[in-house]
Structure 1
Amino acid sequence: MRMHPLLTMTLQRLGFGLLTLFAITLLIFFAIELLPGDLAQEVLGQSATPETVAAFRERLGLDQPPVQRYLAWLGGIAQGDLGTSLANGREIAGLLGARLGNTLFLAAYAAAIAVPLALVLGLLAALYRGSWFDRTVNVATLSSISFPEYFVAYILMLLLSVKWGLFPSIADIGPDAGLGTMLYRTFLPALTLVLVVTAHMMRMTRAAIINLLAQPYIEMARLKGASPMRVILRHALPNALAPIINVVALNLAYLVTGVVIVEVVFVYPGLGQLMVDSVTTRDIPLVQACCLVFAGIYILLNLCADLLAIATNPRLMSRR
């Protein structure tokens, strides 16, 4: 029995994604292996005796060859065991669970604002191409792309928190905070992410729509008397969905995996902040787990983008 081509492609992409993830585990493990210094000595401090350091190295398996330790780590990942944190002795999976939820909440909050805003601005810029609105939006988006995230974050903090006192400068969400409180306290980091990712999605939407406006079927629709808005929404947009979906998915992946700087600036208790803290304390197993989670999410969202682009435009399947 022959499988549907889309299902076959999905399985192929999953296979490629697993191979990519396997390659990333190699990079993560052996890149950390190249870090200078002795992990056991760094964790125990300079006052530790050689016997204590040797016992600690044996407990962590640091006295074994790197390949053997990598295989043990990979085997634990396959069984769902990410290891134990060196800083507090807790299971890493439990530490990642709460922090990942916070990061996904912040990413979803930013995406709920950025995606509709970018699509609307991109469509309007394409509709009124060459107008003052188009030029203003392009200048604003280019400016937001040019500024680094921490600069945007500190400017927003200065204006909206320090000077005007509208929002808190630290995104401190307690365990019992309601949805409204969380939305209010995380508005500044969400707005920072919105300003960073909206520009990319808006410019791709505008470029994809403008690229189709010279096609013969668009000219035919215009000759039939269709309004410019109808031409864009009913004729151009459906055929421009593939590149738009790709850029939206890539920016969603960035919202999840690229929030490290934003979380650190606003002291937001997410996965990025956890990774920075674990680097500071030399909690290597936790650093490895955070990198692996970020890589897995990025690969998964790219896979979804690929499949959604093909589903909206089946002609792409013949090119792959």
Structure 2
Amino acid sequence: MGDLLRLVLKRLGYGLLTLLVVSILIFFAVEMLPGDVAEQILGQGATPETVARLREQLGLNQPAVVRYLQWLGGAVQGDFGISATSGDPVMDVIGTRFVNTLFLAAYAAVIAVPVAIILGIIVALLRNTIFDRVANVLTLTSISSPEFFLGYILILFLAVKANMFPAIANLSSGMDLGELLYRTFLPALTLVLVVTAHMMRMTRAAIIALLSSPYIEMARLKGVPPWKVIVRHALPNAWAPIINVVALNLAYLITGVVLVEVVFVYPGIGQALVDAVSKRDFPVVQACSLIFAATFILLNLAADVGAILTNPRLRHPK
């Protein structure tokens, strides 16, 4: 247990160090963008006095290093500053939108994870058959297609021609769960098509690699049914790579939804990031980018811990 705790703490330390480096890159990359933020916000007709007042209000008169330390200290406490365009706290601007993004990611994950694992096991059992070849072609097509392309295809066939689902994911506060699931089905389906293909191929590869192991051959020689060979012998040893790929795809569901949210006008944090970039609302841009980075690092940490827990060789290193 002590070795496992040390490994987890070590991974956590690496994650925090990575997040610190990412925060530096995010802040100073925004700083290096051309143009004056205050002038961009106020427009060309602003007077120098108004620009100077806004620069002082935003803290732009201070050195960049001082502003970074202040921003980092506030971010650790959950305070990302004030939005440059609305004047509201950044967390008030992106808080609800981040919850919407988490809901969309959870909606897609609930569908994609079990479907991908089950299909991966099936195609591993039926490898080199017509079903396996068709599945490989479809998954490669899905992985190779950009999210916005899949989104527009779904809009064309399921929203415009079939009129089954709305093309725009309009949400309201008084909406019940059924209506919410209905209105967000197309963006969720777009994410499902992308991540299911990847997880299915990785599950298939992990199962096929284990099926050639000596203990699997021995189980087959003893007359164990194929499904029992998979469930009792191969699958428990394939959980480590499967958990890794599931966690990485969950990270993608949260951090890679920007294009999907833009296509379906979904009020999530990805849409907020795009709006903030167009308005040069840099506090919101920095906050969204840091949240994306922290989420990705946290789920990578979860993947590492899951791999350790499911692999005895990692739980008990020599």
User: Which bin holds the TM-score, normalised by the shorter protein?
Assistant: over 0.9
- 1:97 and 2:95 matched: yes
* CA deviations over 1:160-192 (Å, ceiling 9, x no partner): 000000000001111111110010000000000
Corresponding letter in the other structure for 1:23: V
Take 1:7 and 1:197, find their aligned partners in 2: how far apart are those partners?
Answer: 31
Structure 1 residue 5, shift from structure 2 partner: 1.6
Take 1:314 and 1:53, find their aligned partners in 2: how far apart are those partners?
Answer: 62
Take 1:174 and 1:61, find their aligned partners in 2: how far apart are those partners?
Answer: 35
Q: 2:57 aligns with which of 50, 59, 65?
A: 59
Counterpart in the other structure of 2:39: 41
Structure 1 residue 282, shift from structure 2 partner: 0.9
Take 2:29 and 2:317, find their aligned partners in 1: how far apart are those partners?
Answer: 36
The worse-fitting range, judged by mean Cα deviation, of 306-315 and 78-87 is: 78-87
Take 2:316 and 2:278, find their aligned partners in 1: how far apart are those partners?
Answer: 49
Counterpart in the other structure of 2:257: 259
Q: 2:151 aligns with which of 150, 153, 157?
A: 153
- 1:18 and 2:16 matched: yes
The worse-fitting range, judged by mean Cα deviation, of 74-83 and 262-271 is: 74-83
User: Which stretches of structure 1, 4 residues or longer, exceed 6 Å deviation after superposition?
Assistant: none
Take 2:202 and 2:54, find their aligned partners in 1: how far apart are those partners?
Answer: 53
- 1:31 and 2:32 matched: no
Corresponding letter in the other structure for 1:316: L
* CA deviations over 1:232-274 (Å, ceiling 9, x no partner): 1110111111111101100000000000000000000001001
**TM-score w.r.t. length of structure 1:** 0.97
Corresponding letter in the other structure for 2:142: S
Instruction: Give percent identity, aligned residues only.
Output: 65
Contact 2:3 2:316 in 1 (8 A): no
Take 1:113 and 1:18, find their aligned partners in 2: how far apart are those partners?
Answer: 31
Take 1:71 and 1:216, find their aligned partners in 2: how far apart are those partners?
Answer: 57
Q: Secondary structure at the match of 1:256?
A: helix
Contact 2:58 2:84 in 1 (8 A): no
Counterpart in the other structure of 1:75: 73
Structure 1 residue 319, shift from structure 2 partner: 6.2
Structure 1 residue 314, shift from structure 2 partner: 2.2
**TM-score w.r.t. length of structure 2:** 0.98
Corresponding letter in the other structure for 2:66: Q
The worse-fitting range, judged by mean Cα deviation, of 22-31 and 8-17 is: 8-17
- 1:166 and 2:164 matched: yes
Counterpart in the other structure of 1:271: 269
Structure 1 residue 89, shift from structure 2 partner: 1.2
- 1:234 and 2:232 matched: yes
Take 1:57 and 1:164, find their aligned partners in 2: how far apart are those partners?
Answer: 52
Corresponding letter in the other structure for 1:219: E
Take 1:170 and 1:161, find their aligned partners in 2: how far apart are those partners?
Answer: 9
Q: Secondary structure at the match of 1:240?
A: helix
The worse-fitting range, judged by mean Cα deviation, of 111-120 and 64-73 is: 64-73
* CA deviations over 1:84-122 (Å, ceiling 9, x no partner): 111211111122221111000000000011111110110
| Gap runs ≥5 in structure 1 | none
Q: Secondary structure at the match of 2:33?
A: coil
Counterpart in the other structure of 1:300: 298
Structure 1 residue 79, shift from structure 2 partner: 2.7
Take 1:306 and 1:13, find their aligned partners in 2: how far apart are those partners?
Answer: 8
Corresponding letter in the other structure for 1:159: F
The worse-fitting range, judged by mean Cα deviation, of 73-82 and 164-173 is: 73-82
The worse-fitting range, judged by mean Cα deviation, of 15-24 and 89-98 is: 89-98
Count of aligned residue pairs for this structure pair: 318
The worse-fitting range, judged by mean Cα deviation, of 66-75 and 235-244 is: 66-75
* CA deviations over 1:112-145 (Å, ceiling 9, x no partner): 1111111011000000111111111111000101
- 1:171-190 pair list within 5 angstroms: 171-190=169-188
Counterpart in the other structure of 1:250: 248
Corresponding letter in the other structure for 2:237: N
Q: Secondary structure at the match of 1:196?
A: helix
Q: 1:209 aligns with which of 194, 207, 210?
A: 207
Corresponding letter in the other structure for 2:98: L
Structure 1 residue 14, shift from structure 2 partner: 1.4
Counterpart in the other structure of 1:289: 287
Take 1:94 and 1:14, find their aligned partners in 2: how far apart are those partners?
Answer: 29
Take 2:144 and 2:6, find their aligned partners in 1: how far apart are those partners?
Answer: 41
Corresponding letter in the other structure for 1:5: D
Q: 1:218 aligns with which of 212, 216, 231?
A: 216
Aligned-pair Cα RMSD in Å:
1.2
